[in-house]
């Protein structure tokens, strides 16, 4: 993996006087800033990181949005808006070094069985289940199978105020018979999950992976949930599974109306119009589709600042019944971005749209407590900027000034796996 210089070939643009006093700011673009992911066969993802330098101090904080309660979104700044803001701030001549990150293919996500082994708590599987699976599957009516398939083909909508929910419309259809998606899997799981914010608690209560595990979702306002609250949430769940499902994004055909909505959004003439229209699409269809999980019954309770009593398990009549009409998705172990259902040309258009944006971000994509300061040594000339990165994100920013003075590294405490240096000296 390495950074591929896109602007300036590792040097600041000639219009910016080299050797001048250059305060430093930064931002990023891409489907999820500082987070990159690849599909099978891909070697390059459109993830962009930009370093801003100017001939006068830049107060990037002055053009950030106020943070709403609980949720800390990354502020989207359009290119023209950034230029206007920089002009208003009278920063003089400014420029940006822009880079793309080339990635190696990450390992395949864990299978359903592997994911279940990591679930906290105890689980018990019925040993008779394997020998009975064929006859039991034959007992499922077409109507029941259709209900289950409709459930697993809905998109996941993430609402920062009300938590996660599934869309009321089907996002896709299966390419293969239901029998290739479903299997009988009687299992009992007890879970106790601690959460440090309300949104994570809502995910745990719903049986969904934490938001932090969904790194490749197309969130226009990249949700960074603050964990500074003094309150703590505890969720206890009893999961009784009767069926499991497992598939891949290639196993679905996207709904024609969903494709039409995406195409309509991309047909707007202005980028901000495309983004607004895409956000509307995500709010209707969701941002993710479940690829693996458990179907059955569950009992769950969540409390704040206290461990709740264990909930009562589902009634024995429900557990022993051969009627699957009331079954629902009770645990999701794997998800994929709904963008992965689209053909490559549409995905490329969306990635290029995101890559054209500038994001004002907390320091290196993490919490603001890392204290990134681009004007700390404003009286000294910047000679070199060092960016540390891994296969997933920008890790650190390190600035060397004239006279041997250094600032940083800003960012994560653990060391980056690779480094790229950019000369700003004469």
Is the pLDDT confidence value at 171 over 60? Answer: yes
Say if residue 264 is exposed, middle or buried (CB neighbours under 10 Å; 0-12, 13-18, 19+).
middle
- Which pair of structure tokens corresponds to residue 358? 């500038």
Q: For residue 185, how many other CB atoms are within 10 A of its CB?
A: 22
Domain ranges of the chain: 2-105+362-423, 112-343
pLDDT digits (tens, 9 = 90+) for 49-87: 555 554 444 443 433 333 222 222 333 444 455 455 444
pLDDT of residue 401: 76
Q: Which residue has the higher pLDDT, 213 or 347?
A: 347
Measured between alpha carbons, how far is residue 29 from residues 77, 312, 358 in Å?
Answer: 10, 47, 6
Check residue 403 and give its pLDDT.
79
Residue 228 binned pLDDT confidence (cut-offs 50, 70, 90): very low
What span, in angstroms and rounded, lies between the C-alpha atoms of 50 and 399?
Answer: 15
Residue that wins the pLDDT comparison between 199 and 34? 199
Q: How far apart are CA 39 and CA 197, in angstroms?
A: 31
Confidence (pLDDT) at 268: 92
Residue with the larger pLDDT of the pair 212 and 294: 294
Q: Would you say residue 240 has pLDDT above 60?
A: yes
d(CA 185, CA 335): 19
Residue position matching structure tokens 């070697």: 43
Which position has the higher pLDDT, 43 or 188? Answer: 188
The whole-number pLDDT of residue 329 equals: 81
Q: Is the pLDDT of residue 264 over 90?
A: yes
* Contact status, residue 82 vs residue 28, Cβ threshold 8 Å: no
Indicate whether 388 pLDDT > 60.
yes
């Amino acid at each position: 993996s390495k950074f591929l210089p896109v602007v300036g070939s590792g040097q600041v643009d000639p219009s910016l006087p080299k050797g001048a006093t250059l305060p430093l700011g930064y931002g990023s673009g891409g489907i999820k800033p500082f987070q990159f992911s690849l599909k099978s066969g891909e070697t390059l993802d459109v993830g962009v990181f930009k370093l801003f330098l100017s001939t006068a101090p830049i107060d990037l904080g002055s053009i950030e949005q106020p943070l709403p309660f609980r949720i800390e979104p990354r502020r989207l700044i359009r290119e023209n808006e950034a230029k206007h803001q920089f002009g208003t701030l009278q920063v003089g001549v400014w420029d940006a070094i822009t880079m793309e990150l080339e990635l190696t293919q990450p390992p395949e996500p864990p299978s359903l069985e592997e994911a279940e082994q990591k679930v906290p708590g105890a689980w018990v599987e019925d040993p008779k289940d394997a020998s009975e699976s064929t006859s039991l599957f034959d007992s499922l009516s077409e109507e029941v199978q259709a209900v289950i398939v409709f459930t697993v083909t809905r998109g996941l909508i993430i609402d920062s105020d009300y938590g996660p929910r599934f869309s009321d419309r089907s996002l896709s259809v299966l390419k293969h018979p239901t029998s290739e998606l479903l299997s009988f899997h009687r299992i009992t799981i007890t879970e106790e999950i601690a959460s440090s914010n309300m949104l994570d608690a809502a995910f745990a209560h719903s049986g969904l992976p934490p938001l932090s595990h969904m790194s490749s979702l197309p969130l226009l306002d990249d949700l960074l949930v603050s964990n500074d609250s003094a309150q703590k949430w505890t969720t206890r769940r009893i999961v009784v599974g009767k069926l499991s499902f497992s598939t891949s994004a290639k196993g679905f055909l996207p709904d024609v109306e969903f494709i039409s909505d995406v195409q309509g959004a991309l047909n707007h003439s202005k980028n901000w119009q495309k983004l607004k229209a895409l956000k509307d699409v995500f709010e209707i269809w969701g941002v993710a589709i479940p690829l693996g999980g458990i179907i059955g019954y569950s009992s769950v309770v969540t409390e704040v600042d206290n461990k709740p009593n264990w909930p009562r398990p589902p009634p024995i009549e429900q557990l022993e019944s051969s009627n699957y009409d009331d079954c629902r998705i009770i645990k999701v172990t794997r998800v994929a971005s709904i963008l992965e259902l689209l053909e490559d040309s549409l995905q490329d258009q969306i990635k290029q749209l995101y890559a054209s944006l500038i994001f004002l971000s907390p320091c290196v994509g993490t919490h603001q407590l890392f204290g990134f300061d681009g004007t700390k040594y404003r009286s000294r000339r910047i000679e070199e900027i060092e960016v540390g990165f891994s296969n997933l994100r920008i890790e650190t920013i390190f600035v060397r000034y004239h006279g041997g003075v250094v600032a940083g590294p800003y960012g994560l405490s653990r060391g980056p796996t690779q480094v790229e240096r950019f000369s700003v000296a004469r």
